[in-house]
């Protein structure tokens, strides 16, 4: 289950672990490099496996299956977003839910074009984090969207805050209020999904039952499950044949719960023992780079000491304490040649302690962040994990102006470490539950600026092509289009846009629809013709350009471009294997323009044998000289 507006899938930036209810935190699993639609499908499967049904879920499914629209509401943490995705995923078929993000459109209003809705679409409209005016504006559009959904045999789930119940009377009957699921069942489900024998969870220890009865946030229940699994993995490391027992389960839960409910106590004990500068630098470096190799942590500690102008230890090297003493001082463990704390919460709490208890060190840490993240021995996964930790710390305390300066400043440096830091920070900002829409609007505005620095353009492209393409595919498409149209030279944004539409037929439809409206508009982008021809030049996309929107684009291309520009892209459509309907549609898009029709014929001559050229010529003649309508037969009065 997830808290409203907080579930996210991070791709290509930092390594994250779903903890279920509204919380995803840094973990040891590397981010998969997969197409956004596949990632969205895997995220759906992840939630479906761990889903514990709220009381109203079955009734909501019946409403959705019958009427093709359901409106879900409930308090924060009730699992509205996860329930909506799971209900859409449980419908017959294999379509992945497609999110309709109510971002500010080009005209400055919150609106959704019904043409976005295609046959069989499963749509999720999340309004839980939208401001009141936007929700009212979207509620007014809901009946029109519902009508379009029914016409296209699709399904629509709308998520609203618990306080927002004012809906048009003809959709008010679709409302279902959710309540949080049973927390004990949620804990067991998550442990079972991680491979634990949940028979060891019965009976539930008294201290754990007391904690769960107090109705903690669902995110904390998921964190508890993750901590128990982590402790179980350490206990079983190198030991085979151990069976999960109630005694071991109680021990793991007690340790995990003590750290989860009061992580500051463990942090205070560590900081009190690490009194020397090199010990604290090693401590903070281990927390930031948890799981990194020994030499990497040592190098990061030296960078922190240099940044704080800490004098070198006058003691000879052989007399200085080694890694074993430092790990024992900060109560960390060594797994091979890598360092980590026994529990995830300790490293997170240490990072928060460094950030909140020593605000004078914030600017120092951020200034040397690019250098820390560029350490050569740092694995890509570890680099992105550390960048994610820094980004999480910043988004909780720093004002908008400082965050914007850091994104732009790091991107301008254009180094491996600085680009990783800028991407991780912007990645979190565009997904922020409250301010994400404003940051996505900022990306939209910056995407059309031709004078962007190469680093910032790369950061914007990365965020749009990964995280936004998975969580906000429509918004990602628009911003990638603006980036591709504004890049002065180079094709990085164009390649990212083509990759996006190649992996997602829905995105390709939206791009062609967008281009068909813009190619003849006064404010069109000069590069739109080239962009459409780049789409048509891709053999995997070419056949899908012979649609209503695609043919509209071809008509604009035939009117505005010289034949030399479009003939290479159109040649496969005019080959001998082309269907008659395809040839007829493309020739029809040319109208009666003699130069265009001549170029189409010459392309067909070059593409196939004489018989094929004759077939194309006959179709051209039919298009130029359509048969007159047959006269009506006279009948007796």
Task: Enter the tokens of residue 127.
Answer: 């309004």
Using CA atoms in the order 501, 506, 507, 508, what is the torsion angle rounded to 10 degrees?
60
Q: How far apart are CA 92 and CA 88, in angstroms?
A: 9
List Cα–Cα distances, 125 to 18, 300, 352, in angstroms. 22, 44, 34
Report phi then psi at 14, rounded to 5: -135, 165
List Cα–Cα distances, 142 to 82, 262, 637, in angstroms. 21, 45, 53
Question: In this predicted structure, what is the pLDDT of residue 7?
Answer: 33
Q: Tens digit of pLDDT for each residue in 83-127?
A: 998 999 899 887 778 777 666 555 556 677 787 788 888 989 888
End-to-end CA distance of the chain: 74
110: DSSP letter: B
* Peptide linkage before 28 cis (omega within 30 of 0): no
Q: How far apart are CA 140 and CA 456, in angstroms?
A: 38
Question: In this predicted structure, what is the pLDDT of residue 312?
Answer: 67
Count of positions (residues) in the chain: 637
Task: Enter the tokens of residue 257.
Answer: 């719960």
Report phi then psi at 167, rounded to 5: -120, 155
Contact 529, 556 (CB under 8 A): yes
Q: How far apart are CA 49 and CA 45, in angstroms?
A: 6
Which stretches within 53-182 are classed as H helix? 57-67, 80-90, 132-151
Mean pLDDT by 10 residues, the chain (637 residues): 36 34 34 66 82 87 94 83 89 80 60 79 84 77 89 91 69 84 88 86 88 85 87 66 80 85 78 80 84 84 85 64 68 69 75 85 90 87 88 89 94 92 94 85 91 93 90 88 85 88 85 88 80 87 85 90 89 84 87 86 83 85 66 46
Query: What DSSP string runs through 406-418?
Result: HHHHHHHH-SHHH
626 SS3 class: coil
Instruction: Collect all residues with Cβ–Cβ distance below 8 Å to 434 and sequence separation of at least 6.
Output: 5, 129
Instruction: Collect all residues with Cβ–Cβ distance below 8 Å to 381 and sequence separation of at least 6.
Output: 15, 28, 30, 31
Task: Enter the tokens of residue 60.
Answer: 């909501």
Question: In this predicted structure, what is the pLDDT of residue 62?
Answer: 94
Q: Tens digit of pLDDT for each residue in 405-431?
A: 999 999 999 999 999 999 999 999 998
Contact 2, 18 (CB under 8 A): no
């Amino acid at each position: 289950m997830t808290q409203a507006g907080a579930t996210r899938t991070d791709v290509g930036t930092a390594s994250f672990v779903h903890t279920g209810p509204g919380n995803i935190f840094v973990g040891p699993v590397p981010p998969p490099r997969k197409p956004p639609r596949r990632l969205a499908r895997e995220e759906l499967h992840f939630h479906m496996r761990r889903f514990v049904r709220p009381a109203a879920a079955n009734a909501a499914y019946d409403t959705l299956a019958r009427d093709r629209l359901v409106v879900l509401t409930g308090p924060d943490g009730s699992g509205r977003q996860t329930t909506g995705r799971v209900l859409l995923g449980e419908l017959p078929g294999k379509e992945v839910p497609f999110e309709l993000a109510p971002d500010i459109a080009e005209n400055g209003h919150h609106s959704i074009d019904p043409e976005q809705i295609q046959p069989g679409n499963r749509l999720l409209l999340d309004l839980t984090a939208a401001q009141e005016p936007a929700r009212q504006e979207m509620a007014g559009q809901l009946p029109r969207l519902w009508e379009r959904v029914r016409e296209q045999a699709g399904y629509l789930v709308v998520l609203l805050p618990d306080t927002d119940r004012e809906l048009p009377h003809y959709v008010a009957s679709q409302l279902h209020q959710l309540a949080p699921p049973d927390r004990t069942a949620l804990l067991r489900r998550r442990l079972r999904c991680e491979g634990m024998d949940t028979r060891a969870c019965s009976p539930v220890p008294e201290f754990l039952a007391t904690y769960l009865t107090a109705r903690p946030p669902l995110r904390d229940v998921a964190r508890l499950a993750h901590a128990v699994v982590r402790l179980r993995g350490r206990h079983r490391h190198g030991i085979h044949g151990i069976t999960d027992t109630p005694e071991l389960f109680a021990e793991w839960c007690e340790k995990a719960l003590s750290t989860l409910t009061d992580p500051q106590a463990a942090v205070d004990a560590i900081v009190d023992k690490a009194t020397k500068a090199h010990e604290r630098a090693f401590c903070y470096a281990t927390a930031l780079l948890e799981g990194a190799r020994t030499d990497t942590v040592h190098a990061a500690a030296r960078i922190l000491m240099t940044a704080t102008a800490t004098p070198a230890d006058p003691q000879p090297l052989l007399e200085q304490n080694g890694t074993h003493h430092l790990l024992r001082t900060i109560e960390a463990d060594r797994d091979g040649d890598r360092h980590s704390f026994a529990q995830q919460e300790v490293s997170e709490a240490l990072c928060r302690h460094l950030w909140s208890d020593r605000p004078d060190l914030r600017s120092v840490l951020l200034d040397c962040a690019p250098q820390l993240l560029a350490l050569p021995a740092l694995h890509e996964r570890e680099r992105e994990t550390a960048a994610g930790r820094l980004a999480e710390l910043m988004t909780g305390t720093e004002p908008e102006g400082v965050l914007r300066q850091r994104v732009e400043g790091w991107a301008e440096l254009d180094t491996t470490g600085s680009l990783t830091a800028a991407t991780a920070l912007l990645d979190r900002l565009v997904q922020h539950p409250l301010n994400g829409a404003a940051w996505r609007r900022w990306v939209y505005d910056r995407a059309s600026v031709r004078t962007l620095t190469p680093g910032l353009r790369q950061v914007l492209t990365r965020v749009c092509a990964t995280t936004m393409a998975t969580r906000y595919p429509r918004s990602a498409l628009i911003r990638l289009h603006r980036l591709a149209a504004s890049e002065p030279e180079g094709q990085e944004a164009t390649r990212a846009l083509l990759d996006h539409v190649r992996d997602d037929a829905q995105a390709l439809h939206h791009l062609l629809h967008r281009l068909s409206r813009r190619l003849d508009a006064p404010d069109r982008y000069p590069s739109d013709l080239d962009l459409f021809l780049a789409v048509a030049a891709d053999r995997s996309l070419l056949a899908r350009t012979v649609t209503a929107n695609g043919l509209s684009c071809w008509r604009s291309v035939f009117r505005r471009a010289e034949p030399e520009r479009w003939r290479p892209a159109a040649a496969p459509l005019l080959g001998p294997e082309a269907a008659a309907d395809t040839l007829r549609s493309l020739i029809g898009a040319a109208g009666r323009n003699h130069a265009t029709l001549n170029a189409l014929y010459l392309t067909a001559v070059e593409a196939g044998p004489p018989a094929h050229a004759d077939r194309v010529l006959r179709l051209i003649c039919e298009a130029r000289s359509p048969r007159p309508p047959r006269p009506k037969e006279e009948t007796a009065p």
